[in-house]
Chain A
Amino acid sequence: MAAPPTIDALGQFRLTTALGPVGRSVNFTNSNVIMVLSAALLLALLAVGMRRRAVVPGRLQSLAELCYEFIAGMCADTIGPEGRRYFPFVFTLFFFILFGNLLGLFPYFFAFTSHIAVTAALAVMVFVLSIIVAISLHGLRFFTYFFPQGAPKALAPVLIPIEILSYLSRPVSLSIRLFANIVAGHVMWEVFAGFMLILTAALGIAGGIAAVLPLAINVVLVGFELLVAFLQAYVFAILTCLYLHDAVHLH
């Protein structure tokens, strides 16, 4: 009898080099392939969608305009009138993460947002940008951010370390949130798919019939993961907007 099937939940996140020997020599991994693909898809959507520039938009142009207006509205609502300056950054960030999450849901594709290195790089980029914006707009007044306005002076030794700590924890929570959501979703799929194999191996035909249950759960999880893919990209973008709002307005 063959060895009983086991659940290799983290194997799906293993990096392999792509594009043959050329890719191997520059360490071009399957994660990078999906990154390039998601960037190319976004560019194609905008370039092809806006090629005609019709007054009455067709389907693809409506989609491109919808994407544009969604992020433009988010920037204007959260950052304020100055938000237009940061619109290209937030737009790129949101759609890069969204396409990455969505492409990661396809079988045999790779979810690059499931690697902490990728999400941490994105989060640190946001963090450094918000500090640069704050210092270039406000100079040294930026450091008054760490003392809430109107708080009694006596509380300063307590409040300032707390504020600094919460400020420094921003990139950590931003990156781990996205990474944990994607990893947990994919591991959950793997675990329930593993249950199906274990059931059929242990119980034969009866197990095969019982395996419909984990399959049904996996089908529900696909819908849930679609929601999570969108929601986490949205949360990442809106938190970026909130941090930029803090940088632009200080308080």
Chain B
Amino acid sequence: MDPVIGRDIGAGLAAIGVAGAGVGIGHIFAALVSSVARNPSARGQVFGLGILGFALTEAVALYALLISFLILFS
């Protein structure tokens, strides 16, 4: 088998980890929407926390994506 195919499959497998971060980001925004719906006056404070959580979770997705890129391009 062509080793390039193996490399591409590996990169695809490495990107599966992004799914977990997708679930996490979904949870964060679900909690953000429900908390703003319950107490609209807290929007200012809660929004900042939500964006911070989003950035931290998104970084985890990027670890997986970075490994995938490294397999593909280096």
Contact = CB atoms under 8 A, between A and B. Distances in A.
Interface stretch (A55-63, A103-111, A174-182): A174-182
Nearest to A184: B62
B31 interface: no
A177 B73 CA distance: 20
A231 interface: yes
B69 A234 contact: no
Interface of A: 7-10, 176-177, 180-181, 183-184, 187, 231-232, 234-235, 238
A82 B59 CA distance: 30
Contacts of A177: 56, 59, 62
9 tightest Cβ-Cβ pairs between the two chains A and B: A177-B59, A180-B62, A9-B73, A184-B62, A231-B55, A235-B55, A180-B66, A10-B73, A187-B69
B6 to A, nearest CB: 18
A194 to B, nearest CB: 10
Given A7-B73, A9-B72, A10-B74, A184 B55 contact: no
Given A180-B62, A184-B69, 20 more contacts: A7-B73, A8-B73, A9-B72, A10-B69, A176-B59, A177-B56, A177-B59, A180-B59, A181-B58, A181-B59, A181-B62, A183-B66, A187-B69, A187-B73, A231-B51, A231-B54, A234-B52, A234-B55, A235-B55, A235-B59
A187 B74 CA distance: 12
A63 to B, nearest CB: 21
Contact of B52 (A10, A176, A180, A235): A235
Given A180-B62, A181-B62, A238 B52 contact: yes
Contacts of A181: 58-59, 62
Counting contact residues on chain B (CB < 8 A from A), the size range is 10 to 19
A180 B52 CA distance: 17
A235 B74 contact: no
A13 to B, nearest CB: 11
A184 B65 contact: yes
Point out which of B52, B63, B72, B73 has the most chain A C-beta atoms below 10 A from its C-beta.
Answer: B73
Contacts of B55: 231-232, 234-235
A138 B74 CA distance: 47
A31 B74 CA distance: 21
Interface in B13-53: 51-52
A46 to B, nearest CB: 25
B28 to A, nearest CB: 13
Given A7-B73, A9-B72, A235 B56 contact: yes
Contact of B69 (A8, A183, A231): A183
A177 to B, nearest CB: 4
Nearest to B56: A235
A176 B63 contact: yes
